[in-house]
Amino acid sequence: MSVLATNYLTPTGREEAWRFTPLKRLRGLHDGTSVQSDRSTLIAKDALPKGVTFTRENLEPLAASDDVIIERIRSFSASVAHLSIAANTEVSEPIFLGRSAGALDTAEFSRVRISLGTHAVATVIVENTTDTILAEDQAAKIIVMGDLNDNPSDYSVSHALQSSGGLKMIKKSDLYNPWVEVLAKGNGTLANRDAWGIFDQILVSQSWIPPKHTGKLFLGSSHIFKDFFMVEHQGRFKGYPLRTWDGNQFRDGFSDHFPTFVVLLEKIDEKMQ
């Protein structure tokens, strides 16, 4: 989603960035013609476990924005649906938030914030299954990770996930994909016919990227981990990941992919030094 399309033009659905977006649910948000209703339909679908609270609070945005729609949402919605997970809380089952009602004749402007304390672990799923027109300003720090079965530059990753690897060229709505540059330097997590690829990726929202990051933690660096025991050291696949199985032959290897990891740094208050 480009700055131009977001701030000045009303998308038609034919634009590449909007192909997978149900524009009927967004109508009137770009040109300002939507009728905003005073309702707050996001609720916790089940009882919350110990250490987890879900409240509505008047919270200031975590970061400034020059996006027209985001500023429109913030001007109408001082109240924020705030899911807070206390420090050292580990939630084994997913936490579901969902819409309790909706209608296409008016729009609901909603702000959602998810806060995690130190060492908190939880899976949060926000379900929007009603027929409401919805515009959300989610002030969350997002990490997307996994074996995506495609390279960083493939269409499924760069377009469907709206991700980009160049910080100087990145659009403000895109996820940042550090593996674009890693792959361009000839590094990879798996190889096929001596061509390296990176299927194992970790993408982050721009709220993780300094100097405009929110909160104390920010993205430091990205790495491929390949220790000696994980690498094939002989034969025509020398340098490749050492597989567990090679056809019907058990190799006692680690995996056919090298794992990836990112280093997150914490900003230290100078007064505490």
Interval 186-195 mean pLDDT: 92
Tell me the range of 127-131, 233-237, 257-261 where mean pLDDT is highest. 257-261
Proportion of the chain above pLDDT 70, given as a percent: 81
Lowest mean pLDDT across 2-16, 72-86, 237-251: 2-16
In this prediction, residue 2 carries a pLDDT of 39
Domain final residue, candidates 140, 155, 170: 140
Domain final residue, candidates 114, 140, 166: 140
What is the domain extent for residue 114? 3-140
Residue type for position 131: D
In this prediction, residue 223 carries a pLDDT of 96
Average pLDDT score, the chain: 81
In this prediction, residue 267 carries a pLDDT of 79
What does 79-136 look like in DSSP terms, one character per residue? EEEEEEE-TT-B--SPEEEEES---TTSEEEEEEEEEE-TT-B--EEEE--SS-EEEE
In this prediction, residue 102 carries a pLDDT of 58
Residues 248 and 162 in one domain: yes
Residues 136 and 200 in one domain: no
Cβ neighbours for 42, distance < 8 A, ≥ 6 positions apart: 81, 97, 98, 99, 100, 110, 112, 126
In this prediction, residue 175 carries a pLDDT of 85
Residues 185 and 234 in one domain: yes
User: Cα separation of 111 and 268, whole Å?
Assistant: 29
The count of structural domains within the chain is: 2
Proportion of the chain above pLDDT 90, given as a percent: 32
Interval 34-54 mean pLDDT: 86
> Model confidence at 138, in pLDDT bands (50, 70, 90)?
low
Residues in the chain: 273
User: Cα separation of 8 and 32, whole Å?
Assistant: 11
> Could you report the per-residue pLDDT of 220-247, keeping only the tens digit for each?
999 999 999 999 998 888 999 998 887 7
Residues 28 and 40 in one domain: yes
Residues 175 and 266 in one domain: yes
- Predicted TM-score (pTM) above 0.75: no
In this prediction, residue 268 carries a pLDDT of 75
Tell me the range of 20-24, 30-34, 83-87, 112-116 where mean pLDDT is highest. 83-87
Domain final residue, candidates 98, 121, 140: 140
